[in-house]
Structure 1
């Protein structure tokens, strides 16, 4: 397993949980944070079973959950840990079926659910899990990670800005030039959205993100970072404050599964 990079804020909490793993743990890991890596650390020295969406599928089906429940009927001599990656992709019927496993715990069996957006999960599932929310890594950690790559200073600075605090994304951008170019375009669009006062041009830039929630979230994240940078450089003014409040509200709506098109349109209203 590759190195798992964890925020300094989370090290002690992870160590505490590792010493006494709860029956069910929900690891909330924002995009670019290594929630799966943390789950594997917590499941160390156990029999590990993984569950995630099947190839070419976007959700974890109810049939997958039924197969899991059937497997759990077998007796476990050693501690077994079921890691459900992308747990927030379980359909509602899947989550309702999974509740049975949570409500009737098997001896020597623990569950670790990894999710980017727990708001997509049923309250009845979340309430039965202890929660561990991962934090972004520090600037010092990010710079140390990038030192492993032979990048020019300009590229390093761009990656630090685009992926700040997200070690998996930092690695991806450093290792994949095509992905890096894609994210530079995100920054260009964010800059244009902030700079233009023409609603038509802004809407045209936003339109390319209507079909991709994750990119829309990243776009709003970059816009927020740009606004905060401007505020630090020039001081906060009413216009910047309004932009910050509006963009933060749109980002929150996107993470709560709001319609992507309608949420992004709020940036030009």
Structure 2
């Protein structure tokens, strides 16, 4: 679809603004937008895609699916063979959810691009893309925003002082997540409950109470990743404020669990490895 409205400017760290401006002025043929969970990777892609009149083609997992299939990529490639009167921008999000076969199908389009066609691949971890894909793309890695930027995002909200502090802690430096938590009371409530579980796990490791928090996460990978994200935030805070030799081994276990989950490992075993 060709855009006519000016795009929303994404909230990015001050250090990323110059690079974003350069890309907007001269968009490369293929860009990987590397943005950890909670950063505005998709907003950045939409901004780059829409700043100049373009036909924007979006590729994402189909409803109730977790991967972008080879068939979807081939359908997109077929669309690119048709005539276009404006530039075309293909936004693939999340690009790391393309199957290996789908990535290989995309590779030929990156190797032999059509004129005036650009690809924006949004991912939380560029290393999950094939090396042959990465080698043909410029990489924009987004960084976390400052506390001043985070506080500005919350200035126009009606949050309580307690809710504001919680959001600034749980979503520090991640503007997309800050906005989601500030605008969605249900989501904030869910994060508060997960944070309570994370606090229990860290305060009583290996205990029955800590183990009892885990079963509700075993069948929900996304929720398990939220738990790990909050655990990482809390451990990092403890390492700064109350350093202990026990923190590094715990941090290593949490990072290992996160790696396993992002690579479709067993959720139950990954979480138990943190606690036991």
Q: Return the TM-score normalized by structure 1.
A: 0.90
CA distance in 2, matches of 1:60, 1:136: 27
1:240: which partner in 2?
A: 247
Secondary structure at the counterpart of residue 33 of structure 2: strand
CA distance in 1, matches of 2:111, 2:34: 21
2:232: which partner in 1?
A: 224
Match of 1:208 among 197, 216, 231: 216
Map of 1:61-76 to 2, 5 A cutoff?
61-76=69-84
Match of 2:156 among 148, 154, 157: 148
Runs of 4+ in 1 over 6 A off after TM superposition: none
CA distance in 2, matches of 1:198, 1:85: 38
After superposition, the Cα gap between the structure-2 partners of 1:2 and 1:110, relative to the gap in structure 1 and judged at 3 Å, is closer
Q: Do 2:9 and 2:44's aligned partners in 1 also have CA atoms closer than 8 Å?
A: no
Match of 1:34 among 17, 23, 40: 40
Q: Do 1:28 and 1:118's aligned partners in 2 also have CA atoms closer than 8 Å?
A: yes
1:100: which partner in 2?
A: 108
2:146 is the alignment partner of 1:138: yes
Q: Do 1:119 and 1:256's aligned partners in 2 also have CA atoms closer than 8 Å?
A: no
The total of aligned residue pairs comes to 268
Match of 1:8 among 5, 14, 17: 14
Match of 1:17 among 12, 20, 23: 23
Segments of structure 1 that go 5 or more residues without pairing to the other structure are none
1:124: which partner in 2?
A: 132
Q: Name the Cα RMSD after superposition.
A: 2.0
- 1:192-245, CA deviations, whole angstroms, 9 ceiling, x for partnerless residues? 0011144443233223222333332332222222223333333x1212333233
Match of 2:271 among 260, 264, 267: 264
After superposition, the Cα gap between the structure-2 partners of 1:150 and 1:258, relative to the gap in structure 1 and judged at 3 Å, is same
CA distance in 1, matches of 2:76, 2:109: 9
Q: Return the TM-score normalized by structure 2.
A: 0.88
CA distance in 2, matches of 1:120, 1:241: 25
After superposition, the Cα gap between the structure-2 partners of 1:120 and 1:136, relative to the gap in structure 1 and judged at 3 Å, is same
2:4: which partner in 1?
A: none
Q: Cα offset for 1:257?
A: 4.2
